[in-house]
Amino acid sequence: MAKAAHNYLVTTKGLTKHYGTLVAVDNLNLKVKQGTIFGLLGPNGAGKTTTILMLLGLTEPTAGQAIIDGCDPTREPLKVKSRTGYLPDNVGFYQDMTGWENLRYTAELNGLPEDVAKERIARAVERVGLADAIDRKVGEYSRGMRQRLGIADLLVKDPPLIIMDEPTLGIDPEGVRELLALIKSLAREDGRTILVSSHLLHQVQEICDEVGIFVKGKMIACGTVDDLGRQLLQGKRFSLEVEAEPLDEELLNLCRSQRGVLELQQNGTRLLLFCSEDIRPQLTKEIIAAGYRLLHMTLRGYSLDEIYRRYFTKEEGKNGQAATATAKTARH
């Protein structure tokens, strides 16, 4: 698979899409590093699917540009399609054909020689765990099995970029666990770039290296979960949970003495440190150097659910203020 310039496989500059007076995507500037998993996060109608359609060259932007592995989807749609695999939220297969026959058809559409097609199909089927069901008709498959067949279909094509729209929707918990593990392996082991659109925050946090939060067509925040959490906590106290063994007075004194620690509370075996900054790197080093066994350390307020809620609330507040100002102007 070819490497993208500057290590970014997906970039957009001012990408915008209007449907009449509706602004579906508003001035999107996005960079997705090669070999990473990026989550497009937001409620239905936030602009995620429209963004995907523009990246795939299936709809033209009103303004701005997208570049996929060095190609413009608007001007070079066939090149982009050859470099991109797309898994929609409801994968379409021929129901009266077997899983193998569907994959063979995909290989033919992509012009693969027969020996290459057989090798890729066999490898993909094994990879997604469908070896026992691949000769059954797809009409007998569960939704989770169809999603896995969809990933096998992408692997037959072998693209450097895979875009997934709500990949775990309607799948049972065990199937979700297996599918998320498979998605992670596509990036970690294969070096593929994965773009995942979802509104399921805990799943996005589990697999994504970075996330972009969408609200009403705008990407209002972008970065790692830790980065977004730190941005929200600027000027506020950090709450750090720590558990280490043995829990003794020397450990308490060590924690209290760290630069930035404002207050320490003990709750059973857990210590809660209120800090003026993120002291995890220095505290981890000192606890281990002092001979303690570090069992747990986490910074409260870094849950993606909490981050999303607070960013969403901030944006809704801005919109509300803007609407009020517009109404006042209209009255006068």
- 94 part of a folded domain: yes
Tokens found for residue 238: 């950090």
Which candidate, 222, 159, 210, places its Cα nearest to that of 186? 159
Residue 228: the pLDDT is 81
User: In this structure, is residue 326 part of a structural domain?
Assistant: no
pLDDT at 276: 82
Cβ neighbourhood burial of 247 (10 Å; 0-12, 13-18, 19+): middle
* Domain closes at, from 199, 223, 247: 223
- The answer to whether residue 82 sits within a structural domain is yes
- With beta carbons less than 8 A apart as the criterion, state whether 166 and 174 touch: no
pTM: 0.75
What CATH number should be reported for the domain holding residue 147?
Answer: 3.40.50.300
Instruction: Give the per-residue pLDDT at 327.
Output: 39
- Beta strands 218-223 and 210-215, pairing class: antiparallel
Q: Print pLDDT tens along the chain (332 aa).
A: 444 445 899 999 999 999 999 999 999 999 999 999 999 998 888 999 999 999 999 999 999 999 999 999 999 999 999 999 999 988 889 999 999 999 999 999 999 999 999 999 999 999 999 999 999 999 999 999 999 999 999 999 999 999 999 999 888 888 899 999 999 999 999 999 999 998 888 888 889 999 999 988 999 999 988 778 767 666 567 789 999 999 999 999 999 999 989 999 998 999 999 888 888 999 999 999 999 999 999 877 556 777 787 777 777 666 655 444 433 444 44
The pLDDT value recorded for residue 295 is: 94
- Written as six digits, the tokens of 42 are 């937001």
Same domain for 247 and 144: no
Same domain, 173 and 262: no
Name the β-bridge partners of 87: 164
Within a domain: 327: no
Query: How far is residue 308 CA from its own chain's centroid?
Result: 13
Residue 273: inside a domain, yes or no?
Answer: yes
Judgement on whether residues 117 and 265 belong to the same structural domain of the protein: no
Cα separation, 190 vs 37, whole angstroms: 12
DSSP bridge pairs for 266 = 271
**pLDDT computed for residue 1 by the predictor:** 44
- What does the buried/exposed string (b/e) look like for 180-217 if buried means 16 or more CB atoms within 10 Å of the residue's CB? bebbeebbeebebbbbbbbbbbebbbbbbebbbbbbbb
Q: Are residues 209 and 243 in the same domain?
A: no
Residue 197 and residue 80 share a domain: yes
Q: Measured between alpha carbons, how far is 80 from 61 in angstroms, rounded to an integer?
A: 15
- The H-or-E segment that residue 193 falls in is strand 193-198
Retrieve residue 267's tokens. Answer: 């709750």
Do 47 and 94 lie in one domain? The reply is: yes
Whether residue 107 sits in one domain with residue 21? yes
- pLDDT value of residue 43: 86
Q: What are 254's two structure tokens?
A: 């060590």
Residue 318 lies in a domain: no
- How many Cβ atoms sit within 10 Å of the Cβ of residue 222? 19
Last residue of a domain, one of 171, 190, 223: 223
What is the residue range of 258's domain? 229-299
Is the backbone peptide bond immediately before 246 cis, with ω within 30 degrees of 0?
A: yes
Distances (CA, A) of 48 to 83, 109, 231, 309, 311: 20, 28, 23, 18, 17
Residues 14 and 28 in one domain: yes
Q: What is the DSSP letter of 137?
A: B
Domain assignment present for residue 103? The answer is yes
Say how many domains are in the chain.
2
What pLDDT score was predicted for residue 45?
86
User: In sequence order, what DSSP letters do the residues of 63-123 get, joined into one string?
Assistant: EEEEEETTB-TTT-HHHHHHHEEEE-SS----TTSBHHHHHHHHHHHTT--HHHHHHHHHH
Q: Please check whether residues 151 and 284 belong to one and the same domain.
A: no
272: its two tokens:
């809660």
Dihedral sign, CA of 158, 160, 166, 172? Answer: positive
Inter-residue contact 275 to 261 (CB < 8 Å): yes
pLDDT at 232: 67
